[in-house]
Amino acid sequence: MKLATKFIHAGAHPDPATGAIMTPIFQTSTYVQEAPAKHKGYEYARSQNPTRTALEEALAIIENGNHGLSFSSGVAATDAVIKLLEPGNEVICANDMYGGTYRLFTKVFEKFGIKFRFVNTADLEEVRSAINENTKLVWLETPTNPLMNITDIAAIAVITKEKGLLLAVDNTFASPYLQNPLDLGADIVMHSVTKYLGGHSDVIQGALVMKDAALREKLYFIQKSCGAVPGPMDCFLVLRGIKTLGVRMKQHCINGRIVAEFLRQHPKVGKVYWPGFEDHPGHAIAKKQMRDFGGMISFELKDESVEKAKQVLSSTKYFSLAESLGGVESLINHPASMTHASIPREERIKNGLSDSLIRLSVGIEDADDLVEDLRQAIG
Ligand SMILES: *Cc1c(COP(=O)(O)O)cnc(C)c1O
């Protein structure tokens, strides 16, 4: 089955009672049992809900896995993965990733005795040399938020398999349209479903997808024990969102290229971070493991003052100044004060995230309007 067809048909079964083509929103907390423990597979809605089941099936199919688990947010999905570990265990992760993941790791889990080693995961030797007998998990994000660094998932998977470690990949920026980490050897794919999978800026949700049934059981146990499950209405919205992932991503990629090329030739714009450029350090790997390059772009102005960046951030009309990404509408963001403010400034600067960096989530409006908007805002 080709991608566009898969996104529309994944997990879609007409309702057996009525034939309704869309999975109904099962807004219920419990299910009536015929006799004690004699039921239809649904006992209590924290453990199972039919709308969620349909979504979890769809998530597994679109990420080429066998099992999907749906969470109340992206960070709740990440939280469940770290709860597989024990005090004393170590995790190797990128020194450039979503600020909320960094906060969860350092502010919540470090105090339970889990150690996080932040390295440049694009450098295989750095990853290899950070591994010791306590290492249990490698956590990747590629492309990274917001610097668009690319890590070779297949090459890291060779290392994790050799050392017996779990490999989890945050695939939020790429979406399953562009990249399928399980095909490249990852054990777990994580999504902030809030972004491209939902696609309409109307839901907060997360997901994990895996192939291994035993790993699914461990993560399902954590999901139902800790309770970070989404409501059925949100599951319905995501089931609907996934159907148009193919057409949306196609347009995000077309518009992303137009905007990236416009920025690059603009005399007032400095560095543009977008993996589609042939001279991007991760371009060859991105080309190998992704189907296209997406609509996420970061850039700096030649005038590196924060004031000038703030002026641009406040002057766009179609790019709304907001956190988040991956919706049909274009967004503009200032990572240093918004999405990545939870990372200490010294850490940020050391890893190349300057105070004047601007991040764009290029939407699916007409690209001419988006370019015009940036032209007038940059001035
Ligand atoms: C937004 C985001 C998250 C967190 O997801 P929520 O749905 O906001 O909890 C994790 N990783 C990346 C790359 C993100 O962009």
For ligand 1, say whether the CB of 141 is within 6 Å of any of its atoms: yes
**pLDDT for 86:** 98
Contacts of 327 (CB under 8 A, 6+ apart): 195, 198, 199, 200, 201, 361, 363
Going from the Cα of 285 to the center of ligand 1, the distance in angstroms, rounded, reads 23
Domains defined along the chain, listed by start: 3-243 (3.40.640.10), 245-378 (3.90.1150.10)
Residue with CA at minimum distance from ligand 1 atom 7: 74
Report the pLDDT averaged over residues 162-173.
98
Length of the chain: 379
Going from the Cα of 335 to the center of ligand 1, the distance in angstroms, rounded, reads 13
**Quick check: pTM over 0.75?**
yes
Instruction: Look up 15 and say whether it is catalytic.
Output: no
**pLDDT for 220:** 98
Instruction: Look up 195 and say whether it is catalytic.
Output: yes
Cis peptide before 146 (omega within 30 of 0): yes
For ligand 1, say whether the CB of 192 is within 6 Å of any of its atoms: yes
**pLDDT for 347:** 87
Going from the Cα of 76 to the center of ligand 1, the distance in angstroms, rounded, reads 10
For residue 18, how many other CB atoms are within 10 A of its CB? 8
For residue 192, how many other CB atoms are within 10 A of its CB? 29
Q: Do residues 81 and 219 lie in contact, with contact meaning Cβ atoms separated by under 8 Å?
A: yes
For ligand 1, say whether the CB of 96 is within 6 Å of any of its atoms: no
Instruction: Look up 271 and say whether it is catalytic.
Output: no
**pLDDT for 339:** 84
* Residue 190: strand pairing partners: 170, 208
pLDDT tier for residue 61 given thresholds of 50, 70 and 90 = very high
Quick: pLDDT tens for 234-256. Answer: 999 999 999 999 999 999 999 99
**pLDDT for 212:** 98
Instruction: Look up 123 and say whether it is catalytic.
Output: no
Residue of 6, 98, 248, 257 with catalytic role: 98
Going from the Cα of 208 to the center of ligand 1, the distance in angstroms, rounded, reads 13
Q: Say how far apart CA 342 and CA 335 lie, in whole Å.
A: 10
Quick: pLDDT tens for 18-54. Answer: 999 999 999 999 999 999 999 999 999 999 999 999 9
Quick: pLDDT tens for 258-278. Answer: 999 999 999 999 999 999 999
**pLDDT for 24:** 96
**pLDDT for 351:** 86
Contacts of 94 (CB under 8 A, 6+ apart): 118, 119, 120, 121, 139, 140, 141, 144, 149, 151
Which atom, in ligand 1's list, is nearest to the CA of 77?
A: 9
Going from the Cα of 210 to the center of ligand 1, the distance in angstroms, rounded, reads 19
Residue with CA at minimum distance from ligand 1 atom 8: 74
For ligand 1, say whether the CB of 74 is within 6 Å of any of its atoms: yes
**73, 75, 325, best to mutate for ligand 1 pocket (most atoms within 8 Å of CB):** 75
Quick: pLDDT tens for 320-374. Answer: 999 999 999 999 999 999 988 888 899 899 888 999 999 999 999 999 999 999 9
- Our separate counts of H helices and E strands in the chain read 14, 12
Going from the Cα of 265 to the center of ligand 1, the distance in angstroms, rounded, reads 31
Going from the Cα of 174 to the center of ligand 1, the distance in angstroms, rounded, reads 12
For ligand 1, say whether the CB of 327 is within 6 Å of any of its atoms: no
Which atom, in ligand 1's list, is nearest to the CA of 75?
A: 9
| pLDDT above 90 for 124 | yes
Residue with CA at minimum distance from ligand 1 atom 12: 98
For residue 345, how many other CB atoms are within 10 A of its CB? 11
Quick: pLDDT tens for 286-321. Answer: 999 999 999 999 999 999 899 999 999 999 999 999
For ligand 1, say whether the CB of 201 is within 6 Å of any of its atoms: no
**pLDDT for 342:** 85
321 sits in which H/E element: strand 320-321
Quick: pLDDT tens for 127-167. Answer: 999 999 999 999 999 999 899 999 999 999 999 999 999 99
Q: Say how far apart CA 167 and CA 185 lie, in whole Å.
A: 8
Residue of 46, 117, 163, 271 with catalytic role: 46
Tokens of 2: 């080709």
Residue with CA at minimum distance from ligand 1 atom 9: 74
- Rg over alpha carbons for the chain, rounded to the nearest Å, is 21
Q: What is the per-residue DSSP string for 194-221?
A: TTTTT-SS----EEEEES-HHHHHHHHH
